[in-house]
Chain A
Amino acid sequence: MTEPEARRASQPDEPPPFLRTWRRVYLAVIGWLAILILAFYLFARRFAP
């Protein structure tokens, strides 16, 4: 077993408590960012002078 593999084995990658995989959690975070930017843009445009 190589050193990195041994270290990985000592601290395994636990699944997230929701959405089952970390990949889905990351995609959800990026989706949230997109929603926020869109919402802020619409908000700014709605009340622009």
Chain B
Amino acid sequence: MRLADWVVLCGALAFIVLYGLWRGRGSNSVNKYLLAGKTMPWHAMALSIMATQASAVTFISTTGQSYVDGMRFVQFYFGLPLAMVILAVTAVPIFHRAKVYTAYEYLEQRFDAKTRALVSAIFLIQRGLALGITLYAPAVVLTVILGWPDWLTTLVMGGVAVTYATLGGVKAIAWTDVQQMLVMTAGLVAALTCAVFLLPGDVSFLDAVTLAGAAGRLNAVTFNMDWNDRYNLWSGLIGGMFLALAYFGTDQSQVQRYLSGKSIAQSRLSLLFNAVAKIPMQFFILFIGAMVFVFYIYEKPPILFERTQLERLQSASMRADYSPVEQKYDAAFDLRKAAANQLIEARRRGDAGLWRKGLAEYGGAQRELDAARRASVSLAEKAGGGKINDTNFIFLTFVTRYLPAGLVGLVLAVIFGATMSAISAEMSALATVSVIDIYKRHFRTTASDRHYLAASRAATLFWGCYAVTSAHYAKSLGSLVEAVNILGSFFYGGMLGVFVLAFYFPRVRARGAFCGVLAGEAVIFASWYFTRIAFLWYNVIGCVVVVLTGLLISSLERRVGFSPRGASAPPMR
């Protein structure tokens, strides 16, 4: 980190936070504090929704995933636009007209207090567990790459987010998110520009894309249907749609964003903007990873991107085992570079024979390079490093080693900003559910608005402190982006199922909904424990089980003449 980087990082963060606090002033009632007084315009909500979803792992891990596995991860988002349309048609008008603070408050209107409490508790557990990961994920990478202590990084990011979330409420969070999205966009454009401009002078942009494609790094769409395959067109469209429905339709950290809208139309537009912009944004981030891959064809990458593990391999005690692996790696790197030049030459001359020869050599060298990397991982794991996955270190290693002064600070501001936008929204949502669905509903039912405002601020502060503390325990989870998504998928299916029952099945009663959620969660955990089904499908399975159980129990209730407890009003369409 050079002086210019510190200036850019500190300047960007200070501006973002001060601007958010300025916009968040006057949050002096519960409605203003938790729902921004329902005054937010669609463009601010849209960017806030996007920033909330885009945590630091989106940038750190997604680019690394593209480097090692190609761009097929983009298919994960294919179901998102479909989900946004469904939510714009159903959830947005229903929640707005129900005049609720939380999505779970609506469940009491539709079913009963027990179902509301159950789903609120599931949300608190699920979001509470994920909160620590969201904060810890970038901290651990910054610790290894920049040498900053992880407690300091989590404390700075958590402390700043707690400050503006506690003082300014949802309005400050949303307007801060807008600035953070602008910084993120600038940082990503800068990173891609640098990755392309740092290539050797005789390698054009088209050459770079050709080399990425030849290595299988541009595999953005794959049609093969495999239940155990995490990312293909079908799991993305179906599983991704269910996950997006659950995340944007039942997760208070997102519902709270569009509940703060001026009107139904404004909230709908904010979701539909995401439906249009999210996939191109993810494609762009993955494409950066592919270009970093091409950059490392000409600039030798470390055999392991996690510096501490690499230093372990290079220590005197490991030297005898590591030297042959390193030699193979160096030889494979030289072979791949030569084959890449051959491919470029073949493309320019239109020489099909030379292209086939170059492609075979290029593929062979890549396989040898991958084998040497795997061997180094095994060695480091044997040496006591635990399970190693250095995917999350690839992008920031590139940034800190090769980007010019100032831009490193900008990319780090992106990482900090993305983390703060994600955790501030999560803290605020957890605080809202804690106060509105638990404290106000079950412990202190009649108190002044001022009392609940103070309780909301205290709850935000509590969840902020919890985030910083729990971040220290969120270790050893493999690829971090997947850890967060997998965790969400354990609970989202059940939560989505109960809202589907509430919106679309007017004959389903409270008992059916309550038992449905329990059955759905049981089946999801059984699927995880007994099968190898990819986690995206848990959302589908959980939702279907909840709906079927709810329908079955409600049908039995009607037949045996149980009291129609919680039948309440038909769904509001």
What is A's interface to B at a CB cutoff of 8 Å?
3-4, 7-8, 10-11, 13-17, 22, 25-26, 29-30, 32-33, 36-37, 40-41, 43-44, 46-49
**What is the size category of the interface that chain B forms with chain A?**
35 or more
Chain A: which residue is nearest B273 at the CB level?
A29
Q: Given A14-B264, A40-B283, A48-B218, answer yes or no on A29-B97 (Cβ-Cβ < 8 Å).
A: no
10 contacts between A and B (CB under 8 A): A11-B97, A11-B264, A14-B265, A17-B269, A22-B89, A26-B85, A32-B276, A44-B71, A48-B216, A49-B359
Query: Does A41 lie within 8 Å of B220, measured CB to CB?
Result: yes
Q: Does B215 contact A (CB under 8 A)?
A: yes
Query: Does B210 lie within 8 Å of A47, measured CB to CB?
Result: yes
Per the bound structure, the CA–CA distance linking A22 and B86 in Å amounts to 12
Per the bound structure, the CA–CA distance linking A33 and B283 in Å amounts to 13
Per the bound structure, the CA–CA distance linking A47 and B283 in Å amounts to 15
Per the bound structure, the CA–CA distance linking A44 and B218 in Å amounts to 5
Query: Does A7 lie within 8 Å of B363, measured CB to CB?
Result: no
Query: Does B269 lie within 8 Å of A7, measured CB to CB?
Result: no
Chain A: which residue is nearest B569 at the CB level?
A3
| Chain A residues with CB under 8 A of B276 | 29, 32
Comparing B60-68, B76-84, B169-177, B448-456, the segment that makes contact with chain A is B76-84
Grouping DSSP codes into helix (H, G, I), strand (E, B) and loop, the B interface class, with mixed when no group exceeds half, is helix
| Chain A residues with CB under 8 A of B96 | 11
Query: Does B81 lie within 8 Å of A13, measured CB to CB?
Result: no
Shortest C-beta distance, B430 to chain A (Å), equals 27
Query: Does A33 lie within 8 Å of B213, measured CB to CB?
Result: no
Query: Does A49 lie within 8 Å of B214, measured CB to CB?
Result: yes
Shortest C-beta distance, A11 to chain B (Å), equals 5
Per the bound structure, the CA–CA distance linking A36 and B220 in Å amounts to 11
Nearest 6 pairs between A and B by C-beta? A47-B213, A7-B97, A40-B220, A14-B265, A41-B221, A4-B572
Total number of residue pairs linking A and B with CB closer than 8 Å: 93
| Chain A residues with CB under 8 A of B220 | 40-41, 43-44
| Chain A residues with CB under 8 A of B212 | 47
Query: Does A37 lie within 8 Å of B221, measured CB to CB?
Result: yes
Q: Given A29-B85, A32-B276, answer yes or no on A44-B268 (Cβ-Cβ < 8 Å).
A: no
Chain A: which residue is nearest B218 at the CB level?
A47
| Chain A residues with CB under 8 A of B569 | 3-4
Contacting residue for A43 out of B218, B272, B573, CB 8 A: B218
| Chain A residues with CB under 8 A of B268 | 16, 22
Shortest C-beta distance, B66 to chain A (Å), equals 13
| Chain A residues with CB under 8 A of B99 | 7
| Chain B residues with CB under 8 A of A47 | 209-210, 212-214, 218
What is B's interface to A at a CB cutoff of 8 Å?
71, 74, 78, 81-82, 84-85, 88-89, 93, 96-99, 209-210, 212-216, 218-221, 233, 263-265, 268-269, 272, 275-276, 279-280, 283, 359, 363, 569-573
Query: Does A44 lie within 8 Å of B219, measured CB to CB?
Result: yes
Query: Does A37 lie within 8 Å of B78, measured CB to CB?
Result: yes
Per the bound structure, the CA–CA distance linking A44 and B283 in Å amounts to 12
Per the bound structure, the CA–CA distance linking A32 and B77 in Å amounts to 13
| Chain B residues with CB under 8 A of A48 | 213, 216, 218-219
Query: Does A30 lie within 8 Å of B82, measured CB to CB?
Result: yes
Chain A: which residue is nearest B211 at the CB level?
A47
Chain B: which residue is nearest A47 at the CB level?
B213
Per the bound structure, the CA–CA distance linking A33 and B275 in Å amounts to 8
Per the bound structure, the CA–CA distance linking A4 and B280 in Å amounts to 38
| Chain A residues with CB under 8 A of B98 | 7
Apart from A26-B272, A47-B218, what 7 extra A-B contacts exist at CB < 8 Å?
A26-B89, A29-B84, A29-B276, A30-B82, A33-B81, A40-B74, A48-B218
Per the bound structure, the CA–CA distance linking A37 and B220 in Å amounts to 9
Per the bound structure, the CA–CA distance linking A10 and B176 in Å amounts to 31
Max count, chain B CB within 10 A of own CB: residue among A3, A16, A40 = A40
Query: Does B93 lie within 8 Å of A13, measured CB to CB?
Result: yes
Contacting residue for A8 out of B78, B97, B213, B279, CB 8 A: B97
Query: Does B93 lie within 8 Å of A49, measured CB to CB?
Result: no
Query: Does A11 lie within 8 Å of B93, measured CB to CB?
Result: yes
| Chain B residues with CB under 8 A of A37 | 78, 221, 233
Shortest C-beta distance, A9 to chain B (Å), equals 9
Contacting residue for B215 out of A30, A43, A49, CB 8 A: A49
| Chain B residues with CB under 8 A of A15 | 265
Per the bound structure, the CA–CA distance linking A44 and B72 in Å amounts to 10
Query: Does A10 lie within 8 Å of B210, measured CB to CB?
Result: no
Chain A: which residue is nearest B86 at the CB level?
A26
Per the bound structure, the CA–CA distance linking A33 and B75 in Å amounts to 11
Per the bound structure, the CA–CA distance linking A36 and B82 in Å amounts to 13
Contacting residue for B85 out of A13, A30, A46, CB 8 A: A30
| Chain B residues with CB under 8 A of A13 | 93, 264-265
| Chain A residues with CB under 8 A of B85 | 26, 29-30
| Chain A residues with CB under 8 A of B88 | 22, 26
| Chain A residues with CB under 8 A of B216 | 48-49
